[in-house]
Amino acid sequence: MITDKTYYETITLQAPEGSGWQCYMYGSKPNGAYNMIYTPTKENLPNRFVRFMMKILLGSTWVKD
């Protein structure tokens, strides 16, 4: 049965926890003017080998905050 009263629902959103690492992609550097930065979540942080291979193959620089 539908009543004439207005129904409000409260929705709470939580942002995922950051990993503390930033990846400066495709040769960009932390002190550069135009950067493409990727910040993974804590659960999706790549391991040391993947970060090393990204440095060699793609020129990415990983920086821990």
Reply yes or no on whether the pLDDT at 1 is more than 60. no
SS3 61: strand
Residue 65 has a pLDDT of 85
As a whole number, mean pLDDT of residues 21-28 equals: 89
SS3 38: strand
User: Cα separation of 48 and 58, whole Å?
Assistant: 15
Output the pTM of the full model. Answer: 0.68
CB atoms near residue 51 (< 10 Å):
15
Side-chain-side CA neighbours of 56 within 13 Å: the count stands at: 6
Residue 4 has a pLDDT of 60
Give the range among 3-7, 36-40, 59-63 with minimum mean pLDDT: 3-7
23 near 62, Cβ under 8 Å?
A: yes
Reply yes or no on whether the pLDDT at 45 is more than 70. yes
